[in-house]
Amino acid sequence: MDEPAQAACPSCGAAGRPVADKTIRAILTPAQASPMLAVERRFCRTPSCELVYYGEDGRAIGKGDVPVRVGLKEREDPVPLCYCFGFSRADVRVELALGGQCTIPARIAAEIRAGRCACAIKNPSGACCLGDVNRAVQEEQEALQAEAQSQAHLRRTGIA
């Protein structure tokens, strides 16, 4: 089933995720929130796209104007991953470098089971962060492996 045309981000064209009123109220300033609350609005998940929220009529708010850093759209630290418990991409990197295993997804899952997460009002996407966290762990693991392989290659070829 095709998404209706107004679901597409006016900047990148990808269909964003609908965002609840409570997310808009919690993340944006009151002055930013009221025009967004007046229309159906979505969160753009495209990492390279500058827009964070856009309305069905084309009104939009970019990442430079949103009061919190949108981790999905940032490449430089701090890159927030989990807004409820404060984990960032740097935390994932440190754990992987120290122990080879990342315990962060399991720790977040335990907090969710204990009913302590509030993604709907803390995460700018309004959705649970766990999928994004798992993706970030995977990416950082691959980056570490690629680095280890290139160092091993340098040693074998006698350059290092």
Footprint of Zn ion (CB under 5 A): 9, 11-12, 44, 46, 49, 51
Measured distance CA(142)–CA(84) in Å, rounded: 26
- Alpha-helix residue ranges (DSSP H) falling in 39-117: 89-99, 104-113
CB atoms within 10 A of CB 52: 27
Task: Say how far residue 32 (Cα) sits from the centre of its chain.
Answer: 21
* Residue 51 vs 102, nearer CB to Zn ion: 51
Shortest Å, Cβ 11 to Zn ion = 4
Nearer to Zn ion, 11 or 134 (CB): 11
CB of 28 to Zn ion, least distance (A): 17
115: left (phi over 0), alpha (psi -120 to 50) or beta: left
User: Least distance (Å) from Zn ion to the CB of residue 60?
Assistant: 9
In angstroms, give the least distance from the CB of 93 to Zn ion. Answer: 27
Q: Which is nearer to Zn ion, 49 or 66 (CB)?
A: 49
9 vs 133 by CB, closer to Zn ion: 9
Q: Cα separation of 119 and 58, whole Å?
A: 26
Distances from the Cα of 51 to the Cα of 73, 82, 125, 140, angstroms: 9, 20, 12, 25
- The set of residues, in sequence order, having a beta carbon less than 8 Å from that of 147 and lying 6+ positions away, is none
State which residue, 46 or 141, has the beta carbon closest to Zn ion. 46
Q: Min. distance of Cβ 86 from Zn ion in angstroms? A: 26
